[in-house]
Structure 1
Amino acid sequence: MSDSPAPPVPPDDAGAEAARQLRFAHQKLAAHAENTPLIVIEWDRETRVSRWNAQAERVFGWTAAEVLGKGLLEWKFVHEDNRELAHQIASDRQAGSAARRVVVTPNYTKGGGLVWCEWYTSVLFDDAGNLISTLSLALDVTPYRATAEELEHSRARLRAALDGAKMLAWDMDLTTNTWETTIDISDFYGVPHGPDYSNPELALNAVHPDDLALVTAGRQRAIETGEPMQYEFRGRAPAADGFPRWFSTRGQVLRDTTGKAVRIIAVTSDITEHKRAEEQREALNRQLRDAAKWESLGVLAGGVAHDFNNILTVVLGSANLARRGLPANSSAAAYLDQIEQSCRRAAEVCRQMLSYAGRNLGGAARIDLTPLVRESAPLLAGPAAPHNVRYELAHDLPLTHADSAQVRQVLVNLVTNSAEALAGASGEIVVRTYPAEIPTGMPDGTFHLAPAPGRYACLAVSDTGPGVSAEVRGRMFDPFYSTKFTGRGLGLAAVLGIVRAHKGGIRVESAPGVGTTVTVYWPGPVEQVASVPAANPSSSRATNAALVIDDEMFVREVTASTLEELGFTAILAADGASGIEQFHRNRDAIKVAVIDVMMPGVTGDQVLKTLRLFAPQLPAILVSGFTDKRIVTAEFGAHTEFLQKPFHPEDLMNIVRRLTEEKG
């Protein structure tokens, strides 16, 4: 092989070869430009079209012959919204300040349609910095644009649906500790917009501090175990009405091929209204349970008191009759005194039981709470001692229809309870009266006895004692319940019965360390009922028959003996039907009737209604252990009085004298 150099190419042949290669390169470039799926458009220094490839013709519709040599804005190619952008790009090219640019714009087609293109523009300058040409490569992204718009519409619909359902969807990247959310965190949780909630850790500031550990533990447990993530928590900001805002999170942890947790996909729901309804439902169920309990206990207490009153009536009447037969200096008189005193104490227990049962509404009338409380101040000095009682009494209270004696009993019992709560320590008791309006809707959970919607006169007793827990609040009106010593009676239980009988409400506000306030809601007045005017006792004696109707044999006999002392002949009946029959047999002779209200079968008030059909002015005495005088005053009016069991024979005699004198 020879090492001699190759003979040089003649100059003419070298130039021809270079020209051939240049033409070949141009041909290759032109072929590539025509066959590429990209739109290729070249612009000269005056921004006139100098190249327009086949893809440009396919996308826009114009042929190269139609557009070559035309300026950018000389035909309807640039969308109106982008004309300013086109001028800016041209100016930047002339100034040499925009060598490359990427934009996405809509462009018109020959047929007037719109095509979205992603433009990649490159500018070529000579050595002197003068613009030579601009090459624009574009990709028709119309299908992708439509898909992206549909995806955005879907996302918007999803956001609207989640927002309407009070739900927040979120995607948390555990590797970068970042997340994406469908709606603004601040708006969803109702917290200020200050912190950067795009950081998941900072977003925990929206969680109530007491529930923060629960939230972090719920996430960590799902990451470690692979179980679905679910937990409920409270937000830091409460609802507008002060009720806690509650949220529920449900989600799943995603893992890579190695099993490492990389993402959390979850939805957090605002369940405040659900929790509110749940609490209201529980409050209603609790009220229904309490109502059933109080009703059962009330029926039991009322039944026991009724039977006990019948027994006491017999004992008290027998003792009184026995006394009448004793010599003036008999030593047995002292024992009979003790019997009568014991009967009266037992009768007071019965009255407390009837108050607890809600069946002891006696002399109800229209009253103003404020004067009543002011007049009762001397009665409170003893129960409140040694503590001071401060009064805050309103002057614009609605009148309430109530038994003033029972209102005083409620006041004394509440003040006594507050004094015992202070337990000798320094403190103050405050008695307040004020008007209140209960709107339609479920009362909150602080009501022990929920009042109906309406206007009320309120009596509130507060103390600065240690307060009580929710558990104690739930039992403080139970009979004989006490947290300080063995229960001694029916104090607060009687309060509950009295208020229930008046169709009022009771609210208890207390917590350990903050004292206690018990508020009684006395309802506004109902139609005032007329009272029966009392006549002065008379010593006149009747000499005709008296009808005695009572299902208790001993009560009938004691009553008969008392009436016989007044000169009556007693006609006895053991039930209502027999009493009506006896009345018809002896109608002309019967001058007065003594009728027990609570009898099986035909009740006493039904008996009296029947008798009054035939004798409208027949004097009658309704007797019962349930001291509801409204039965008498509202339904029977004149010639009728009420006598509570147990009664002293002298009381019966006085009423009989008064009624027969009125009739005569």
Structure 2
Amino acid sequence: MDVTLNPETPDSRARASRLTGDSVVHSGRSGGAEARRQSTTAVSITRADGGQGVDTLFLAADEMPALVWSTGPGGACEFVNRRWLEFTGAASRAALTDTLDFVHPDDVEHRRALLSGEGQPREPFESVFRLRRADGTYRWVLDHGSPRFDAQGAFRGYAGVSVDVTEWRAAQRELLVQRTFLRNVLDTDPNLIFVKDYDGKFVLVNRAVADIYGTTVDAIVGKRDADFNPRQEEVEWFLRDDREVMDTLHEKFITEEKITDKAGHLRWLQTVKRPLIDSDGRARQVLGIATDITARKSLEAQLLQSQKMEAIGRLAGGVAHDFNNLLTAILGYSHLLLGELPDARSREQVEQIRNAALRAAALTRQLLTFSRQQVVAPRVFPMNAVVRDAESLLRRLIGEDVELITELESADVNVRADPVQLQQTILNLAVNAREAMPDGGVLRIRTEDVEIDPDTRVGSEPARPGRYVMLSVSDTGLGVSDEHLPHLFEPFFTTKERGTGLGLSTVFGIVRQADGHIRVDSRPGHGATFSIYLPAVSGPRTNGDVVESTAAFRGEGTLLLVEDEREIREIMVEMLARCGFTVHAAGCGEDALRLLDQIGGRLDLLITDMVMPRMNGRDLAARVLAVRPKVKVLYITGYTDTPLSDDVPAGRAILCKPFTLDGLTRAIRELMES
């Protein structure tokens, strides 16, 4: 039906204009533009029977439930329908001068610019604004307007329809709040949450999925795994599992599956996939929830490596213990032979046997250090001495393409630590430095006397003020990144493909056990410096490696020797007897207690192995001291499951296997004189 407004009717002061059925639709100026440009000065409504009626247009417009309006070229109101008047409470069309009087003040300027057509392309528009209702409240209305043109194409204003959308906007806001809340829930969840269709396209993802692929949520929707994942086999696995779930309508739990992230790193996921079943009973989409278990897999691998290292350590400790027993016998008998052989040639040969046993003893100490079963034996010694002892070994260890420089600037100031462990610390740091210089470089080991004041921090912790000896190990290698620096001393942390992550944590433990501190200074590409600070100590030095002597030592007193290894027991009995001691020997704790009852006179010293079947050395000593409280106790051991140090009660001492006659007699003399 074609509707024509008569500008001369009492209810209209506007020029005649033609409204068409598509006048409120975004159709642009093409297609229906010619129809919208048609206008007439005749007042008529063309009916099916060919008749015409003047008021039919207004009747039709007034009966519409929507708010109908039209404006002139400058935006002035030309017509509103009855529903518009009722909605706003305007008295009449004749009394209405400007519809903008009913628009919310904040929306007036935008509305005026829109209706005036100034600077606008004069095309169909859609806008939302607030219109005052008859009760004085403002309602949101959705407005559709279309431009009107005369026969010559001149712009004649706009005509349009407005609909109250207040409740719809409230519902939209509530829906937006809910969608924002659900989006926040999805994006806060660290698990990977996604929905895919049968073609593998992402329908929904959370931020965790986008992050692992190095993109955004909006960018990944509508794409496939293949658009982000370079590994075709992974993409095929994902699509195969997705379709299996949709085809079978059954959930699938995937214990472990691999995915390559944006950096090309392999990550491990544990995934549950469930079909999303439509009303027709078919599944066209699959929901997946995947948990990143990469860290857990790493911990499992670290635990496995730790258990492997523990097993190897126990094996090494057991081997070292057996070797120490054998070496003790070899060193003992070679010492006796050196005192009896008359010719120099024979003595030289036995001396070679003894030296080989001493080198083997050093090897077993390394095994025990590796297995964490080395008896801790703190001594007072100059730091420089340990560096000098390690220097020859280091030169063979680091290779010819690394220059070793030692700068011993410390004035031979003493420290108190276990020299074996401190040497192991130097070796660990040197090995790390060597691996950081694959093309060669300079390894510098330096000692220096330093003073630390109360405000000084060493590394991340404050240090007790006082005098220290600083030992630094520097290299010209690759350096350490800022990301890795805070984790260097954490157990199992390693940047090596086959590293254990225990070397630097062991160094840290040794330094702390000696009441020291350690600091790392490094930058990528500029090498690294590890600085160890040990407190300087005064007092006499402990001679750990005394030059062996075959000079006869004469002792006196009664000893009870308890050793379960027959070879060691026999050689110790012979050595101690030659030194003048009265020796009673037993092979186990129970035999020793029975023998104790048979010793009629005094008992000066109990020498007992620490590790024995049924009754260990500690328990035996406690039983003996209960009845003979004045007896001194010398423990002998090749290793121990319980860390030992020199913090033992008065009247007791520890001697580590393998030992020589001089080492044994010296320990006895010091204990008896204490």
The TM-score with structure 1 as length reference comes to 0.61
Say if 2:649 is the partner of 1:636. yes
Q: Deviation of residue 125 (structure 1)?
A: 7.3
- Shift in Å, 1:645: 2.6
1:406–1:498: 8 Å Cα contact kept in structure 2? Answer: no
Are the aligned partners of 1:359 and 1:626 in contact in 2 as well (CA < 8 Å)?
A: yes
Alpha-carbon displacement from aligned partner over 1:427-465 (angstroms, at most 9, x marks no partner): 3342468998589xxxxxxxxxxxxxxxx987566779x
Partner of 1:25: 53
Q: Cα–Cα, structure 1 residues 52 and 560, in superposed 2: closer, same or farther, change >3 Å?
A: closer
Which runs of structure 2 are paired with 1:438-477 in the superposition (5 Å)? 459=473
The match for 2:131 is 107
Alignment of 1:350 with 2:367, yes or no, is no
Match of 1:403 among 399, 404, 418: 418
Q: 2:261 aligns with which of 205, 221, 234?
A: 234
1:290 aligns to 2:315 (yes or no): no
Question: Hey, what's the Cα distance between the residues in 2 that align with 1:587 and 1:518?
Answer: 66
Give 1:34's aligned residue: 62
Q: How does 1:123-272 map to 2 (within 5 A)?
A: 136-142=160-166, 144-165=168-189, 211-212=229-230, 214=232, 232-235=259-262
Aligned-pair distance for 1:624?
1.8
Deviation at 1:306, TM superposition (A): 2.3
2:659 maps to amino acid? F
Q: Quickly say closer, same or farther: Cα 1:105–1:311, change in 2 above 3 A.
A: closer
AA paired with 1:556? R
Residue 364 (structure 1) aligned to one of 378, 400, 405: 378
Q: CA separation of 1:541/1:629 partners in 2, compared to 1, >3 Å: closer, same or farther?
A: farther
Partner secondary structure for residue 605 of structure 1: helix
Q: Does the alignment pair 1:116 with 2:129? A: no
Partner of residue 389 from structure 1, selected from 403, 423, 431: 403
CA distance in 2, matches of 1:92, 1:525: 87
- Any gaps of 5 or more consecutive residues in structure 1? 1-16, 255-263, 440-455, 465-469, 478-491, 506-513
The answer to whether the 8 Å contact 1:159/1:183 transfers is no
- Counterpart Cα distance in 1 of 2:73 and 2:557: 138
Q: What residue is the counterpart of 1:304 in the other structure?
A: 319
1:266-312, CA deviations, whole angstroms, 9 ceiling, x for partnerless residues? 9999x8xx65xx44333332332233222222222222332333344
Q: Distance in 2 between matches of 1:248 and 1:186?
A: 17
Give the CA deviation at 1:360: 2.4
Q: 2:657 aligns with which of 645, 653, 656?
A: 645
Instruction: Work out the number of aligned pairs and report it.
Output: 563
Alpha-carbon distance change, 42 to 620 in structure 1, aligned in 2, over 3 angstroms:
closer
| 3-state SS of paired residue (2:614) | coil
Q: In the alignment, what sits opposite 1:547?
A: 560
Instruction: Measure how far apart 1:405 and its partner are.
Output: 3.9
Alignment of 1:41-80 (within 5 A): 41=69, 53-56=81-84, 60=87, 62=89, 66-73=91-98, 77-80=102-105
- Counterpart-to-counterpart distance in 2, 1:351 and 1:52: 104
- Whether 1:564 and 2:551 are equivalent positions in the alignment is no
Which amino acid in structure 1 is aligned with residue 324 of structure 2? Answer: N
- 1:101-137 CA-to-partner distances (Å, cap 9, x unmatched) read 6543322222234252424366687999898x97554
SS at match of 2:94: coil
Distance 1:153 1:333, change over 3 A: closer
Please state whether the residue corresponding to 2:342 is helix, strand or coil: coil
Shift of 1:560: 2.1
Contact 2:124–2:147 (8 Å) recurs in 1 = yes
Partner letter of residue 587 of structure 2? A
1:137/1:370 CA distance change after superposition, 3 Å:
farther
Secondary structure of the corresponding residue to residue 131 of structure 2: strand
CA contact (8 A) 2:126 2:144 kept: yes
Give, in whole Å, the separation in 2 of the partners of 1:377 and 1:338: 24
1-structure distance, mates of 2:153, 2:360: 123
| Structure-2 change in CA distance of 1:390 and 1:164 (3 Å) | same
The farther-off stretch of 495-504 and 116-125 is 495-504
The one-letter amino acid of 2:367's match is M
Provide the C-alpha distance between the structure 2 equivalents of 1:96 and 1:295, rounded to a whole number of angstroms. Answer: 81
Mapped partners of 2:561, 2:301: distance in 1: 45
Please tell me whether the aligned partners of residues 358 and 497 of structure 1 are also in contact (alpha carbons under 8 angstroms): no
Aligned CA distance change for structure 1 residues 246 and 18 (closer, same or farther; 3 Å): closer
Shift, 1:634, TM fit: 0.8
SS in 2 for 1:26: coil
Does the C-alpha gap of structure 1 residues 635 and 61 become closer, same or farther in structure 2, counting only changes over 3 Å?
Answer: same
2:611 pairs, out of 593, 598, 609, with 598
Contact 2:611 2:637 (C-alpha < 8 Å) held by counterparts: yes
TM-score normalized with structure 2 length:
0.60
Work out whether residues 364 and 403 of structure 1, in 8 Å CA contact, stay in contact via their aligned partners in 2. yes
Contact map agreement 1:594 1:622 (CA 8 A) in 2: yes
CA distance in 2, matches of 1:120, 1:462: 76
CA distance in 2, matches of 1:391, 1:98: 85
Residue 161 of structure 1: how far off its partner (Å): 3.4
Cα drift, residue 635 of structure 1: 0.9
Identity %: 20
What SS class does the counterpart of residue 600 from structure 1 fall into? coil
Identify the residue that residue 258 of structure 1 maps to in structure 2: none
| Alpha carbons 2:606, 2:633 under 8 Å: kept | yes
Q: Which runs of 5+ in 2 are unaligned?
A: 1-43, 248-256, 277-283, 448-456, 462-469, 479-492, 514-523
Q: Does the 8 Å contact 1:530/1:633 carry over to 2?
A: no
User: Hey, what's the Cα distance between the residues in 1 that align with 2:666 and 2:380?
Assistant: 28
- One-letter identity of the residue aligned with 1:643: L
| CA drift at 1:547 | 1.3
Partner secondary structure for residue 646 of structure 2: helix
Structure 1 pair 328/77, CA: closer, same or farther in 2 (3 Å)? closer
* Contact 1:530–1:634 (Cα < 8 Å) also in 2: no
State the alpha-carbon separation in 1 of the partners of residues 50 and 409 from structure 2: 110
Cα-to-partner distance string for 1:221-263 (whole Å, 9 max, x where unaligned) = 78x9899899944236x9xxxx999999999999xxxxxxxxx
| Kept in 1: contact 2:260–2:266 (CA 8 A) | no
Partner-residue secondary structure (3-state), 1:548: strand
1:346-398 C-alpha deviation (Å, 9 max, x unpaired): 444433432332222454358897895478556644655644425598999xx
Contact 1:347–1:646 (Cα < 8 Å) also in 2? yes
What SS does the aligned partner of 1:633 have?
coil
Distance across 2 between alignment mates of 1:630 and 1:527: 23
SS at match of 1:112: coil
Is this contact kept in 2: 1:305–1:625, CA < 8 A? yes
Whether the 8 Å CA contact 1:542–1:567 is kept in 2: the answer is: yes
The 1:521–1:585 alpha-carbon spacing in structure 2 relative to 1, beyond 3 Å, is: farther
State yes or no: 1:626 paired with 2:639.
yes
Give the distance between the partners of 2:165 and 2:385, measured in 1 at CA: 86
